[in-house]
Amino acid sequence: MTGEQITFLVIALATLGSALMVVTTRNLIHAALWLIATLFSVAVIFALLSASFLAVVQVVVYIGAIAILFIFAVMLTRKDMRDQSPQLNKNWWVGALLAVLTFGGLYTLLQGWSGLSRTVADIPSGFDAVAELGTELTSFTGYVLPFEVASVLLVAALVGAVYVAFNPRSGDIRK
């Protein structure tokens, strides 16, 4: 077993352990903090896959923006989070059964797939993945249309989120 494999196994255990804590812990602030641990482990997985740009974006966007947004939302709705009431609904075993069945189904599906034994290809020398990614995202023969649609989606989400969360009683912007 090489050092790379040991690193992967440690990181995979950290990912799954912190993900399990996200879905089982009672305190939602702790769940959001465990989510940060999960996201960081996924960033390490991206680095292991030599996707350096995505590893950085994972830390900046997911941990820096999305996880902080979660913590804000938990704090704004904290009053209702009574710790004595159960955190799982009464049909939680159906969810657990479905999750186990999904994992089993995906696992058996993978065992029958012929491409599973595919080996990792060497990145050719002089090939800059980040530069190539930037070229692909902005060239007309590449993915400029999904890129622009994503930015329109983000603007629409920003406007929609501000409108939905706006409290007409406290603010006087509409007067």
Partner 1 sequence: MIPLSWYLILSAALFSVGLFGVLSRRNAVAILLGIELMLNSVNINLVSFWRYGNVMHMAGQVFAIIVFAVAAAEVSVGLALVISVYRRRNTVIADEIDLMKW
Give the binding-site size for partner 1 (rule: CB under 8 A). Answer: 91
Crossing angle of helices 144-165 and 129-138, in 10° steps, is 80
**Binding-site member from 10, 16, 30, 128 for partner 1 (CB under 8 A):** 16
Q: Scan residues 35-64 and list those touching partner 1 (CB under 8 A).
A: 35, 38-39, 42, 45-46, 48-51, 53-54, 57-58, 61-62
**For residues 168 and 163, what is the distance between their CA atoms, to the nearest angstrom?**
10
For residue 166, give the DSSP letter. Answer: -
Which positions from 83 to 102 touch partner 1 by CB under 8 A, shown as an x/- string? --xxxxx-xx-xxx-xxx-x
Q: Does 10 bind partner 1 (CB under 8 A)?
A: no
Q: Does 132 bind partner 1 (CB under 8 A)?
A: yes
Q: Does 156 bind partner 1 (CB under 8 A)?
A: yes
**Binding-site member from 84, 114, 121, 126 for partner 1 (CB under 8 A):** 121
Nearest approach, Cβ of 173 to partner 1 (angstroms)? 16
**For residues 103 and 87, what is the distance between their CA atoms, to the nearest angstrom?**
23
Please say which residue, 120 or 173, places its beta carbon nearer to partner 1: 120
7, 23 contact by CB (below 8 A)? no
Q: Which two tokens stand for residue 162?
A: 């501000």
**For residues 154 and 148, what is the distance between their CA atoms, to the nearest angstrom?**
10
55, 44 contact by CB (below 8 A)? yes
**For residues 166 and 171, what is the distance between their CA atoms, to the nearest angstrom?**
8
Nearest approach, Cβ of 147 to partner 1 (angstroms)? 8
Please say which residue, 117 or 140, places its beta carbon nearer to partner 1: 117
Nearest approach, Cβ of 94 to partner 1 (angstroms)? 7
How far, in whole angstroms, is CA 103 from its chain's centroid?
18
